[in-house]
Structure 1
Amino acid sequence: MARVTLQTIADRVGVSRMTVSNAFSRPDQLSPTLRDKILAVADELGYVGPDPAARALARGTTGAVGVLLTESLRDAFNDEIATAFLGAIAEELTPTGLGLTLLTAVSSGDVIPARDVAMDGALVYSCDPESTAVDWLLRRKIPVVFVDQHPTDGVPAVNVDDRPGARAGAQHLVDLGHRRIGIVTSGVRGAHGRIADETSMIDGYVAQQRIAGWLDVLRPAGIEPAIVRLPHGLPESGYDGARMLLSQDAADRPTAILCFSDALAQGVVQAAQDLGLRVPEDLSVVGFDDSPLAARMRPPLTTVRQDVLAKGHAAAAALTRSIDSMRNNTPPPTEHLLLPAELVVRSSTAPSPA
């Protein structure tokens, strides 16, 4: 079947191609009667609208923005915080007509998504700053907003106040009398799960901020935590990390564990229970994020809350402002927004049994 074009409709109605184009893009240029006739013929012929590629070329815009993720796209859909963040972005973009394109930092053959996918701008979400994908986006000179990244001069950024939030979680445990405290964390680069004391091993801005906040409280209290760094933030990783920490003599194993995320905390709680330990009587656990998972867990999880919906809305709004500035040849915004984090105490923490 031959493709229906604007010229096809123009020939059927007996008007010019420009008149048909105006019926779709500039309806005020036509009488209501003529426009209705053109639209009726278009519908009859099965016309689906102007070619998106041609329209984008004419307007100098793609109508889409990208979200760059370091890990696989599948992992994003297994993470309630990531899905809530993406949902908030989509909601903020809806009135603008912009679509959302998910990009992985992993190349496939000759295709490099950050370099090759057409987009009007991009959000860089919790990515390795040394990733070549981030470099490609910056080299393209399209509007970019960093989210959960190290703030960079000249680039708008949206972050959570992770360090004070982590301090609050650690102080809560110290106030409960805990002195043997473990940390289960993750970074953006691959790593093998292991116990370590070297905090320099921790990669990623968010992971660095959270561990700095924990140590701000623990070290002045004379506590040197055992740190397990894991390659992924999945519950299975938390389970493995907890087994490393808890498979010690009762006199040496932690009475409390601080976790990089609620997902890791879920695995920690499961591991403790499988080892015959009670949460919180034998082991207190603190998460981070206050995802829906935290309230569903048994016992409900003490955690540090970040407003992930506000983060998504703020990030999308910052990007649309940057895109508008580029279109209007005005100075781009470069604000760095810092959202609060607060401790939410539930039933997974209790006074130290030691």
Structure 2
Amino acid sequence: MARAKRATLKSIASDLGVTHTSVSNAYNNPAKVSAALRDRILAHAAEVHYEGPNPAARSLRTGRCGAIGVLFNDQLSYAFTDAHDIAFLRGISSVCEEEGANIVLIPLKDKHPERLDNLTAIVDGYILNAPYKSHPTIRKALARGLPTVVVDFDAPQLPSVLTNDREMMRSVVSHLIDLGHRNIAIVTFPWSQDHGELFALDRDVSDENHVVHERVLGCRDAFDAAGVPAKGILVCETPNDEEGGARAVDRLLRRQHDLTAMVCFSDRLAYGVMARCDALGLSVPRRMSVTGYDGIDPPGRPREGLRLTTVRQNAFEKGRRAAEALLREPGKAGSPIRIAAEFVGGDSSAAAWELETE
């Protein structure tokens, strides 16, 4: 008994009396065929058990594989637990769905980096999400010469998506100063990978991490404008999660027990700071004012309770605009795409509490 021939793009085109290009477009460029014709092609393909063009063959033919690599600063699981990263990836995904592209997630932190070189993944380009400039994986990605868009990263030669971080931190600190706070500390994620220092704000901070650099400068701008010496303001580096925020409270209070406010560079840090302050009997905001940055509730966190004073940034839009720049205008550098954030007053900040003196 003769074996049935496997259906191909050409055989489907012949069966339907249409061009090979029309069948190809039904799969690869649906906007170039009418909805009725595409439905007709896909219906017939299903009847003859045709599952679509071979991805490997299409890659060899077009020089494109239909996937983009997204590099981010933490372990793979972090991308699915951090509210900002979840929204950011949804923004990227919304464009990838429209363009028929897939996503390869490439974490900069890996418990077993010797087992896998993530950059061997076949991708058409990269989105670098707030990476450390000198990280070996970042350098290797840039060295590949593929179309690349950077997010929260200072690289004038590449298309970029940036937020007004410096302006927003100036607003946050000015808000606390207007409430009478002077004994203020800053809680940040590390400016360089795996750092965890405690230092004064008057110290120069590298631009290794663009976000930390800009937010530190914004804080310094506000203190300078108010005449508050930067050398008296402590900055604590800690992992960007609730546990990191909690540990920062203990470290800071050991050095400065009369703090009345803590400025956090993420909402996750702020929630960890608030939880630890409550555990220590330092009620928020009466005894300790706390601010965050992101404006997104962490997954699983109940909405009742204090509304965090924070900066709301549109992580979804940042992801969407980055993916549009990569997939629709690859390699086109120019003025940065700026996504404006906004200061949001909440219940976690109040007038400064004065330490009782004996």
Q: Give the TM-score, by structure 1 length.
A: 0.83
Structure 1 residue 338, shift from structure 2 partner: 2.3
Q: Distance in 1 between matches of 2:187 and 2:244?
A: 9
For each residue in 1:174-198, what CA deviation from the matched residue of structure 2 results, as whole angstroms up to 9, or x when unmatched?
Answer: 0000010011111253445443216
Report the counterpart of residue 222 of structure 1 in structure 2.
228
Q: Which of 234, 256, 263 is the aligned partner of 1:258? A: 263
Pick closer, same or farther for the CA change 1:36–1:286 going to 2, 3 Å.
closer
Q: Which structure 2 residues correspond to residues 211-250 of structure 1 after superposition, within 5 A? A: 211-220=216-225, 221-223=227-229, 224-230=232-238, 232-247=239-254
**Structure-2 separation of matches of 1:271 and 1:36:** 61
The sequence identity of aligned pairs, in percent, is 30
Once the two structures are superposed, the pairs formed by residues 65-104 of structure 1 within 5 Å of their partners are 65-104=68-107
Shift of 1:61: 1.0
* Structure 1 CA distance for aligned equivalents of residues 211 and 25 of structure 2: 48
Quick one: structure 1 residues 171 and 46, their matched pair in 2 at CA, closer, same or farther if it must change by over 3 Å? same
In angstroms, what is the RMSD of aligned CA positions? 3.3
SS at match of 1:309: helix
Amino acid at match of 2:144: R
Counterpart code for 1:98: A
Matched, 1:299 2:306: yes
CA contact (8 A) 2:9 2:23 kept: no
Equivalents in 2 of 1:111, 1:155: separation in Å?
27
Q: Which residue of 2 aligns with 1:122?
A: 126
The AA in structure 2 aligned to 1:50 is: P
The TM-score normalised by the length of structure 2 is 0.82
Equivalence for 2:29 = none
Instruction: Output aligned runs, 1:198-217, within 5 Å.
Output: 199-200=203-204, 203-217=208-222
- Residues 253 and 25 (structure 1 numbering): CA distance in 2 closer, same or farther, change over 3 Å? same
2:152–2:211 contact (8 Å) kept in structure 1: yes
CA 1:9–1:44: 2 relative to 1, 3 Å:
farther
Q: Note if contact 1:70-1:104 (Cα within 8 Å) is conserved in structure 2.
A: yes
Q: Does the CA-based 8 Å contact 1:183-1:258 persist in structure 2? A: yes
Task: Report if the CA contact (8 A) 1:143-1:322 is conserved.
Answer: no
For residues 229-275 of structure 1, give each alpha carbon's deviation from its aligned partner in whole angstroms, at most 9, with x where no partner exists: 11x200100000012223567xx421001001000000000010000
The match for 1:273 is 278
Secondary structure of 1:154's partner? coil
Match among 313, 325, 328 for residue 320 of structure 2: 313
Q: Give the 3-state SS of the residue equivalent to 2:329 in structure 1.
A: helix
The answer as to whether partners of 1:239 and 1:271 remain within 8 angstroms in 2 is yes
Structure 1 residue 64 displacement after superposition: 1.1
Indicate how the Cα distance of structure 1 residues 102 and 336 shifts in structure 2: closer, same or farther if over 3 A, else same: same
Give the 5 Å matches for 1:157-236. Answer: 157-187=160-190, 189-191=192-194, 193-197=196-200, 199-200=203-204, 203-220=208-225, 221-223=227-229, 224-230=232-238, 232-236=239-243
Query: Residue type matched to 2:233 in 1?
Result: P
Instruction: Give the drift of 1:225.
Output: 1.1
Q: Which moved more, 1:215-224 or 1:69-78?
A: 215-224
Per-residue CA deviations over 1:72-95 (Å, capped at 9, x if unaligned) read 111111110011011011112322
* CA gap 1:85/1:274 in 2 versus in 1, 3 angstroms: same
Of residues 40, 51, 56 in structure 2, which corresponds to 1:48? Answer: 51
* Other structure's SS at 1:65 match: strand
Of 129-138 and 235-244, more deviation after overlay is shown by 129-138
Flag the 1:183–1:3 CA change in 2: closer, same or farther, 3 A.
farther
Contact 1:194 1:229 in 2 (8 A): yes
Is contact 1:70-1:188 (8 Å) kept?
no
Structure 2 unaligned runs (5+)? Answer: 27-31
CA distance in 2: counterparts of 1:3 and 1:163, whole angstroms: 66
Once residues 301 and 256 of structure 1 are traced to their aligned partners in structure 2, the CA distance between those partners, rounded to angstroms, is: 13
3-state SS of 1:348 partner: coil
Change (3 A) 1:295 1:92: farther
